Amino acid sequence: MNNLHSISVVVVNRNGEKFLDKLFKSLLDSLIYVANFYPHVNFVEVIFIDNASTDSSLKKAHYWRIVFNNNGIVFRIVPLRRNYGYTFAASCGVVLARGSYVAILNPDLYVDRDWLVHILNTFMKYRRVGIVQPLILDYKDPSITQSKGLFCDEVYNYKGNVFNSQIILAPFGAAYIARRDILMKIGLLDSLFFMYGDEVDLGLRVWRYGYIVLLDPNARVYHFGGGVTPQEIALIKRYLGLRNQLITLIKSCDGITCAIKFVILLGINVVRCLRSLHTCRAILSAYAYLIKRLKVLHRRRLCLSASKLLKESSLRKMGLIRPVLE
């Protein structure tokens, strides 16, 4: 079943038990609301991908599966045998999804009842939209905005949308909705990233295949932020960020520009090393990882180069990629 009247919600979980009740309650309300608002929506589902949680997340999910099923909503639970990372788990959800629109959510958030209606309206209004991000507010204090979407600089440091623009380079990874057919066309979330920085890579691919990414400020979700980040991952967050920045540069940058940017980023990383021993270790580990996987990255680069429609210079002219020092 894959038509314009079907919606899938993928929740990627790792030890998020304490957030699940609030998430699923708000999600159930929103899915019932969208089905009533759009009578032609004939199929909705929730896919709960669990990355080998060690808490009682699965037990909680089984309880909510009964609640969703009783309300006519398909609820599937997919337990992974080990923690494969956010990007791999999210991609599993997209592959399994039967909806034309796929929402990808972190577990440490809750949603407004009408958030899906606003986003579906945006998809219907603009034919070339590939991804829409809701306005992401703070879980504890909704007066604080966490994310209006992402831009990046010339060496792919990602930056927040301080311009209040509805046209963005990439969605913030906590919550966004994509057209499934576009994700299957341009490629799923790259498992090399594991977590962090994958949004910029995804946004670049969406744009360069000729689609657009938008923020819908009328659709609102509330994100805790770091609520399900395991301590062992938090300790290497810096490493993942630096490593994934290098991966994005190798995959996405055009021709000779790639070599120039690589040298610029190398200079920036030398300065970073001089400032912090901890950062220096993370940078050296990131480059070591890069060297080991050059063949894999080269294949990914060739696949993107063969299919992209939009040049990086076009993204620069639109302000989606901005100067390093800005």
Q: What is the pLDDT of residues 207-241, one digit of tens each?
A: 999 999 999 999 999 999 765 555 556 557 888 88
Q: Is the pTM of this model over 0.85?
A: yes
- Give which of 49, 167, 149 is closest to 104, Cα–Cα: 49
* DSSP three-state, residue 170: strand
Predicted local confidence at residue 34, as pLDDT: 93
Predicted local confidence at residue 277, as pLDDT: 83
- Give which of 166, 244, 165 is closest to 202, Cα–Cα: 244
> Quick one: DSSP state of residue 84?
-
Stated length of the chain: 326
> Quick one: DSSP state of residue 54?
S
CA distance 248 to 262: 11
- Give which of 5, 50, 10, 6 is closest to 173, Cα–Cα: 10
Token pair recorded at residue 179: 């057209």
- Residue ranges in the chain modelled with pLDDT below 50: 1-3, 326
Predicted local confidence at residue 7, as pLDDT: 95
* pLDDT tens, position by position, 112-146: 999 999 999 999 999 899 999 999 999 999 999 99
CA distance 260 to 165: 29
DSSP string, 187-230: ----GGG-SSSHHHHHHHHHHHTT-EEEEEEEEEEEE-SSTT--
